[in-house]
């Protein structure tokens, strides 16, 4: 294992900002972050970055020597750009979790403000390096790896340690256990009391969660051919709490499933309560870990989602009892039946959704591995549940909150969140104030969102085409047709034309005729209405004048940023060229920083205030560079372009 450099940086400008770790709220202000990066740039080395990244310790405030930031400088596997991530090593709020091999903390990108999870491990055990390389390889295969770094340190007692940093995607919503259980944080995490009670969750939402869990496992097996080997509710994390988007994490024990599996792939690496029966057999008769073992664990996870029993608390009671007796208790199917009786037959729920879900659990929890479904069978089961989810009653009074998530993931596997009490369309409301404001456009958007998802499914399942046709008819009935002039309005127009002489006069004569009007007859009143009509409503074109102007400036800004990104020549296509290795680390880091910042600013072009703030930050970053004649002329030219482009965009904004 290559040993990465460890650097100390002199004190920098005083940091007056508060320490925060939320996304896009920076740990330090612009001046401090720019000064930190400039100090680091002069010490970067291409070889160390390529091999193991670098760790820098930064004390930004000379009056507070205890305030130290750690800055991880890594190369992104996807873009090949140099990235800077900082965190406070002594702030306990940064820590996400801790285990036998190390801990996981939150770090922040110094350029964009985005958060990443950092797994910090110290070498321990004979297989540490092999396990580390396997986890990083799996993260890179699944495109969840953000970067890697190493640091060699010597303790006061003379002992030497190699710390490994693995940067990966950060999920802000917590794991599935926190979604399913009431947590008592005052208790120890390993005690049964930590999981105080099971939350009450609607069956439709449970169906939704099961569909998402199935999606993650199927994707891991089908797309990446990886057997996870440690599937449990704790390893499903929520990346978007409002839309309930799940991710399957902890790929450190995952292995590539195929003919080249080794004897070490038989090792029992699962978690008590989720391990398949065949993995508990003696090593001589134990089969290689395969997808069927994951399907057993998947069945336990789905049963845990469905049950009203406190499965986690029961598991911890059994583990404590086994620990006191110094015996390993194998959790068999009959014990699962006792721990979650409502899932295995004693429930009074006779709905179709419940029957389908419990049937899936029964199919997955077969003690004989060959009796469990294949990957294709699991896909079919998910498709059937997906169809069942789409067949749930559609209430046009319910606003769907998952439209944006559907655009991002091209799926309808999200549940609507009720924004108002559902109201029966057939009842009239005595109190108009209580009537929900359900506009025609909202109804059409709701129908469109459902149609979009079902149309995609109908390509694979022709039986759904009939449903799509019904939705088309429903949409047509809701569309407001262009109305002709009403009979009463036509009569009024005819009366105006027949009784008013003013209509036959030219515009120049109108003011004179107005002065001569001295009576208040119907004809005069009609004439006044014709001469001076009521204030009309602005057309859509007039109302959108300012909006179009704003869109025009946004479009121009995006064009400027696109040109700027091309000049950086560190986009995904160009950054993978073999010539990157000869570019000095300082110049490469400068181009990377400006490329990341420009992409981040372009992503905020619809948010006026955010765009303005980040644009000013980009300009300040360019102005903070003290370039001299010794610097590369290309770098000087590109930094000058940044300054000019920022001035132009700020003027447009």
> What six digits make up the tokens of 366?
């077969």
Please check the confidence at residue 610 and state whether its pLDDT lies above 70. yes
Give the range among 319-333, 334-348, 354-368, 587-601 with minimum mean pLDDT. Answer: 319-333
312 contact partners, CB below 8 Å, separation of at least 6: 177, 181, 194, 195, 233, 304
User: 166 and 119 in contact (C-beta within 8 Å)?
Assistant: yes
**Strand pairing partners for 56?**
7, 71
What's this model's pTM, rounded to 2 decimal places?
0.69
Please check the confidence at residue 616 and state whether its pLDDT lies above 60. yes
Q: How far apart are CA 574 and CA 270, in angstroms?
A: 42
Across the range 268-281, mean pLDDT stands at 89
Residue 578 confidence class, pLDDT cut points 50, 70, 90: very low
Across the range 249-269, mean pLDDT stands at 80
User: 279 and 268 in contact (C-beta within 8 Å)?
Assistant: yes
pLDDT (tens digit per residue) in 396-420 = 333 344 444 444 444 334 434 333 3
Please check the confidence at residue 438 and state whether its pLDDT lies above 60. no
Q: How far apart are CA 194 and CA 183, in angstroms?
A: 6
Angle in degrees, 0-180, between the axes of helices 352-364 and 375-390, rounded to the nearest 10: 170
Q: Which residues of 201-212 are buried (b: 16+ CB within 10 A; e: fewer)?
A: eeeeebbbbbbb
SS3 for 365-385 is CCCCHHHCCCHHHHHHHHHHH
* Sign of the dihedral defined by the CA atoms of residues 535, 539, 541, 544, in that order: positive
393 contact partners, CB below 8 Å, separation of at least 6: none
In angstroms, the Cα distances linking 503 to 485, 516, 535 are 20, 16, 19
Q: How far apart are CA 407 and CA 417, in angstroms?
A: 17
Tracing tokens 């721990």 back to the chain, one arrives at 339
Give, for 61, the enclosing helix (H) or strand (E).
none
Please report the pLDDT score of residue 102 as a whole number: 81
Of 280 and 374, the one with more pLDDT: 374
> What six digits make up the tokens of 505?
């006069």
Please report the pLDDT score of residue 600 as a whole number: 83
Q: Taking Cα atoms as reference points, which of 286, 289, 13, 52 lies closest to residue 162?
A: 52
* 3-class DSSP assignment, residue 35: helix
Please report the pLDDT score of residue 120 as a whole number: 94
| Secondary structure (DSSP) of 231-288 | --GGGEEEEETTTTEEEE---TT-EE-STT--GGGG---S-TTT--GGGGS-TTTPPP
Please report the pLDDT score of residue 125 as a whole number: 72
| Identity of the highest mean pLDDT range in 338-342, 410-414, 436-440 | 338-342
What φ, ψ does residue 6 adopt, rounded to 5°?
-125, 125
SS3 for 151-207 is EEEECCCCCEEEEEEEEEECCCCCEHHHHHEEECCCCCCCCHHHEEEECCCCHHHHH
Give the range among 274-278, 381-385, 518-522, 638-642 with minimum mean pLDDT. Answer: 518-522
In angstroms, the Cα distances linking 572 to 140, 336, 505 are 16, 49, 70
Which CATH class name applies to 176-258+265-373? mainly alpha
> What six digits make up the tokens of 457?
């499914």
Please tell me what DSSP assigns to residue 433.
G
**Strand pairing partners for 6?**
55
Averaged confidence pLDDT in the chain:
74
If phi > 0 it is left, if psi is from -120 to 50 it is alpha, else beta; for residue 245 that is: beta
Number of Cβ within a 10 Å radius of residue 244 = 21
pLDDT (tens digit per residue) in 201-257 = 999 899 999 999 999 999 999 999 999 999 999 999 987 766 678 999 999 889 988
Tell me the pairing of strands 245-248 and 255-256: unpaired
Residue 329 confidence class, pLDDT cut points 50, 70, 90: low
Please report the pLDDT score of residue 604 as a whole number: 76
Please report the pLDDT score of residue 395 as a whole number: 38
206 contact partners, CB below 8 Å, separation of at least 6: 305, 306, 357
Strands in 312-469 per DSSP E: none
Across the range 99-112, mean pLDDT stands at 86
The ranges assigned to domains in the chain are 6-169, 176-258+265-373, 395-420+439-478, 490-533, 548-652
* Sign of the dihedral defined by the CA atoms of residues 250, 256, 257, 263, in that order: negative
**Strand pairing partners for 197?**
182
Please tell me what DSSP assigns to residue 120.
E
pLDDT (tens digit per residue) in 139-184 = 999 999 999 999 888 888 888 888 999 999 998 878 899 999 999 9
Please tell me what DSSP assigns to residue 395.
-
User: 568 and 583 in contact (C-beta within 8 Å)?
Assistant: no
Across the range 64-88, mean pLDDT stands at 89
Across the range 458-487, mean pLDDT stands at 59
Q: How far apart are CA 141 and CA 164, in angstroms?
A: 19
Please report the pLDDT score of residue 230 as a whole number: 93
- The CATH number of domain 6-169, selected from 2.30.110.10, 3.40.190.10, 3.40.710.10, 3.30.200.20: 3.30.200.20
Across the range 632-649, mean pLDDT stands at 78
What φ, ψ does residue 647 adopt, rounded to 5°?
-60, -40
User: 224 and 141 in contact (C-beta within 8 Å)?
Assistant: yes
Q: How far apart are CA 340 and CA 149, in angstroms?
A: 44
Please check the confidence at residue 68 and state whether its pLDDT lies above 50. yes
Across the range 79-102, mean pLDDT stands at 86
């Amino acid at each position: 294992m290559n040993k990465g450099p460890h650097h100390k940086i002199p004190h920098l400008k005083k940091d007056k900002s508060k320490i925060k770790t939320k996304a896009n709220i920076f740990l330090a202000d612009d001046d401090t972050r720019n000064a930190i990066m400039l100090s680091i740039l002069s010490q970067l080395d291409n070889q160390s970055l390529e091999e193991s990244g670098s760790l820098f310790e930064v004390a930004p405030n000379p009056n507070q020597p205890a305030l130290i930031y750690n800055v991880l400088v890594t190369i992104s596997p996807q873009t090949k750009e140099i990235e800077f991530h900082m965190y406070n090593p002594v702030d306990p709020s940064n820590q996400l979790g801790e285990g036998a091999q190390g801990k996981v903390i939150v770090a922040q990108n110094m350029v964009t403000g985005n958060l990443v999870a950092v797994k910090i491990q110290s070498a321990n055990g004979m297989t540490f390096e092999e396990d580390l390389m396997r986890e990083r390889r799996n993260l890179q295969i699944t495109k969840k790896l953000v970067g890697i770094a190493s640091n060699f340190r010597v303790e006061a007692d003379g002992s030497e340690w190699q710390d490994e940093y693995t940067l990966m995607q950060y999920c802000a919503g917590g794991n599935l256990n926190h979604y399913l259980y009431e947590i008592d944080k005052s208790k120890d995490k390993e005690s049964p009391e930590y999981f105080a009670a099971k939350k009450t969750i609607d069956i439709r939402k449970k169906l939704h969660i099961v569909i998402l869990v199935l999606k993650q496992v199927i994707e891991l097996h089908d797309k990446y051919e990886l057997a996870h080997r440690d599937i449990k509710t704790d390893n499903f994390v929520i990346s978007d709490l409002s839309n309930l988007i799940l991710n399957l994490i902890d790929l450190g024990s995952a292995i590539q499933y195929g003919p080249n599996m080794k004897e070490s792939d038989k090792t029992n690496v699962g978690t008590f309560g989720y391990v398949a029966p065949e993995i508990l057999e003696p090593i001589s008769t134990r089969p290689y870990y395969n997808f069927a073992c994951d399907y057993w664990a998947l069945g336990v996870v789905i049963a845990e989602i469905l049950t009203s029993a406190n499965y986690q608390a029961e598991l911890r009671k059994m583990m404590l009892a086994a620990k006191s007796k110094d015996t390993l208790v194998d959790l068999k199917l009959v014990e699962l039946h006792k721990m979650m009786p409502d899932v295995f037959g004693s429930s009074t729920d006779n709905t179709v959704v419940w029957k389908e879900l419990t049937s899936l659990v029964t199919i997955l929890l077969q003690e004989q591995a060959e009796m469990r479904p294949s990957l294709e069978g699991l896909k079919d089961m998910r498709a059937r549940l997906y169809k069942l989810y789409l067949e749930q009653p559609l209430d046009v009074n319910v606003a769907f909150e998952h439209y944006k998530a559907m655009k991002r993931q091209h799926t309808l596997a999200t549940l609507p969140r009720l924004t108002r009490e559902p109201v029966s369309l057939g009842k009239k409301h005595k109190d108009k104030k209580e009537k929900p404001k359900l506009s025609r456009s909202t109804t059409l958007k709701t129908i469109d969102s459902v149609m979009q998802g079902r149309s995609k499914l109908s390509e694979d399942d022709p039986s759904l085409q009939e449903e799509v046709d019904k939705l088309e008819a429903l949409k047509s009935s809701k569309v407001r047709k262009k109305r002709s002039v009403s009979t009463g309005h036509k009569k009024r127009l005819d009366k105006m034309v027949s009784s008013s002489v003013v209509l036959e006069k030219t515009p120049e004569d109108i003011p004179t005729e107005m002065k001569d009007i001295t009576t208040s007859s119907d004809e005069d009143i009609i004439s006044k209405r014709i001469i001076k009509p009521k204030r009309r409503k602005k057309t859509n074109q007039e109302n959108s004048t300012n909006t179009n102007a704003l869109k025009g400036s946004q479009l121009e800004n995006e064009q400027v940023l696109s040109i700027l990104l091309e000049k950086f020549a560190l986009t995904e296509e160009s950054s993978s060229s073999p010539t990157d290795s000869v570019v000095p680390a300082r110049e490469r880091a400068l181009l990377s920083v400006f490329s990341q910042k420009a992409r981040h600013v372009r992503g905020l072009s619809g948010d006026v205030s955010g765009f303005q703030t980040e644009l000013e930050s980009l300009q300040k970053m360019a102005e903070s560079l003290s370039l001299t004649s010794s610097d590369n002329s290309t770098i000087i030219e590109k930094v000058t372009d940044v300054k000019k482009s920022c001035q132009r965009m700020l003027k447009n904004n």
